[in-house]
Amino acid sequence: MNMQGIIDIANYSDGVLYALAFLQLLAMAVIIDRAWYLRRTILGGARLVSAVARHERLHDADLRLLRDGAARLPEAMVFDAVLLSKGTFSHTQLEDRMEEAIMLTAPRLDRRLWILDTIITLAPLLGLFGTILGMFRAFAVLATPGNAPTAVTGGVANALITTAAGIFVAMVGLLAYNGLSNSVRLVLHQMETLRTLLLNRVVMGRPIGNGATAMAAE
C-alpha cells in the first residue's frame, strides 16, 4: 500500500487514524523517556546497593563518598536523610526518616506513566469510534442508486482498519506499561534494600575510628 492509499484510508476514518497516530507517537515518547530513566536508575541503584553491602560499618566519610556516587539518583535522598539525621536521631527515628525519603521519591519514578495508561484505554475506543463512522459512510452508499454492493464491502474493510489500529496502539502501550511498572517496583525494592543495609551498617553518633573507605569505582 502506497502513501496515498494510507492517506485515503485515514481520510475515510474522518481523521480518527490521524488521532491514533498522534497517540502512538505520544506513547512512544513516554516509553522512551521512562525506559531510559528507569534503566539508568536501576543500574545506578544496583551499583550503590553493591557498594554499601561491601562495608561492615559506615562512618561519616563513607556515607559522604556514597552520597557523591549517588549523584542525582533517587537513592541520594536516602543518603541525605542519614547524613542529616543520624547524629541526633535514634535508630527508629532514622528508619522513619529514610522511609519518608523513599515515599517522597516514589512519585518521580512513575511520572507520566498515567499518560500511557490513558492511551491504553483510549486507543481501542477511539478505533471503534472511527469504525462506526466508517460504517455509516459505507452503508450510506446503498442509499445512492446505481452503486455496486462491492462498494459497501470495500468501505466496511476500510472502516475496520481503525479498530485494528486502535488495538495495535493499545497492545504496544500495554506491553510497555507493564514493563515500566515492573521497573518502578524494582527501583523501589532497591531503595528498600538500601535502607535496610544502611540501618544495619550506620554508626550512630560520632564516628568510631578512622573508617573511611572509598566506594569502589565501577
Strand partners of residue 202: 58
DSSP three-state, residue 202: strand
Candidates 216, 177, 192, 209; CA nearest to 51 is 216
Give the angle subtended at the CA of 159 by the CAs of 10 and 177, to the nearest 5°.
75
* 215 Cβ contact partners less than 8 Å away, ≥ 6 residues apart: 51, 62, 65, 66, 69
How far apart CA 40 and CA 32 sit, in angstroms, is 12
Is residue 26 a contact partner of residue 115, using CB atoms and an 8 Å limit? yes
158-214 pLDDT tens trace: 778 888 999 999 999 999 999 999 999 999 999 999 999 988 888 655 433 333 333
Backbone angles phi, psi at 89, to 5 degrees: -95, 155
Is residue 37 a contact partner of residue 105, using CB atoms and an 8 Å limit? no
Is the pLDDT score of 34 beyond 60?
yes
Is the pLDDT score of 58 beyond 50?
yes
95-127 pLDDT tens trace: 888 899 899 988 888 889 999 999 999 999 999
